[in-house]
Chains A and B, each alone.
Chain A
């Protein structure tokens, strides 16, 4: 699966630090579900192919199960994408 654009609610603090709080994902029946981001395991700045992105590895609670996902914030286009692990 390709990296897909997703809706994210994030907070930006005064130091410019970005923290994703909620993410909205689509299921197989095209129904949207909002998940709270429980915690961020790590984040990292990347610049592959000269494209600046910030990668967040975080946990969401989905159907009672903690699931680890990777989301990337594109600094130039301000898009969030869900990355395949």
Chain B
């Protein structure tokens, strides 16, 4: 029996979820989905990009990732609402919960998309299209937002199918219908980003069909292993199974756009400390340690640079990671004003791996790791802001940087019921 895989994708997720919340929970009358609208960051803090936009906004040419200023030039009457991450989390959970009613094997692929292994469910729901329509309508009736469902025999084809015409539709892309996909531009293929797309165009490959017909050796020569991957995707081949267990994290990193340009090293190092704090908290939460630390800098001219080093021994101690980050920063920074900083770690070791004790460490390791564990416990119990390093007191930098900043979790509404 052939496998049967569904890919379920929420239509403009962040915007739909905010729209449903405003209509059903707050009792507003306008549906954000029916007007040109978008979810955007905070311009004053320079987090000014469009995170999601409605279909009417799309008609004006507003794209996800545009700056708010550009979007307003395209569409002056665009309604921009704040992000609301607590809501996205509860919507995402409710969404996956419904999928689990239909299939024992659900792989949540991101906050707004999931794969379901529906193999062997024909006896329960009838044909795949009937099952998918039932699923889509149940999500709409119970949760209030629409999804697209792609149906096929493997993950790549299901994913490509859910990306066909939107919103609120079910599409099939079985191997015998693969011409449907071959007509599309090669940039639409999963795992073909802007850089790969440019290279493929240079090779005269413009559609997915042309890619599928290209000699594999040519692709290997130009793209190495990635060439094999996109070649098999273009031919609808994907052997990966739907897995309900999330694969372990390969790296932990956080970055932040600073509200002002940083032109002195000491402020930059404070930002690095706040990032290291966040990254290490996450490492310790998963009882993981990192052997490689990297620092990235985006300067005010949007030039991107990064630099990495191997640690003496894997670590998740904030002070150690910060010390490495500072060294990397000193080696990397050319003195131009900094817009964004990032700290990333990789080569992850899990569990109670043996820690190589440094002879000249002077017992710092044990003291510092005890300190970190205690701080984590205090923060878990009394909140993230209950304890912080004194350097951050009254400073312009928040003591934990990166990820979703606290004010983005809740939305601020002038009247009506408070955010729940």
Contacts and interface: CB of A to CB of B under 8 A. Distances in A.
Interface of A: 1-5, 46-51, 53, 74, 76-77, 79, 81, 83-84
B27 interface: yes
B20 A49 contact: yes
A48 B27 contact: no
Contacts of A4: 416-417
Contacts of A83: 27
Which of B87, B415, B417, B418 counts the most A-chain CB atoms under 10 A from its CB? B417
B417 A50 contact: no
Q: In this complex, which of A49, A74, A83 has the most chain B Cβ atoms within 10 angstroms of its Cβ? A: A49
Interface residues of B, number: 25
Contact of A2 (B87, B142, B144, B415): B415
B26 A50 contact: no
B307 interface: no
Given A1-B27, A50-B87, A51-B25, 15 more contacts: A2-B417, A3-B26, A47-B94, A47-B143, A48-B143, A49-B25, A49-B90, A49-B143, A49-B144, A49-B145, A50-B94, A51-B21, A53-B25, A79-B417, A81-B417
A65 to B, nearest CB: 23
Nearest to B87: A49
16 contacts: A1-B27, A2-B415, A2-B417, A3-B27, A3-B417, A47-B142, A47-B143, A48-B24, A49-B20, A49-B90, A49-B144, A49-B145, A50-B90, A50-B93, A53-B25, A83-B27
Nearest to B414: A2
Interface of B: 17, 20-21, 23-28, 87, 90-95, 142-145, 415-418, 420
A81 B87 CA distance: 19
B6 to A, nearest CB: 20
A77 B420 contact: yes
Contacts of A77: 420
A3 B145 CA distance: 20
Nearest to B89: A50
Contact of B26 (A2, A47, A79): A2
A2 B92 CA distance: 25
Nearest to A72: B25
A28 to B, nearest CB: 16
Nearest to A84: B27
B301 to A, nearest CB: 41
A53 B26 CA distance: 12
A5 B145 CA distance: 25
Contacts of B91: 49-50
A15 to B, nearest CB: 23
Nearest to B21: A49
B24 A49 contact: yes
Lowest 9 A-B CB distances belong to which pairs? A3-B27, A50-B94, A2-B416, A50-B90, A48-B24, A48-B144, A50-B91, A49-B20, A49-B21
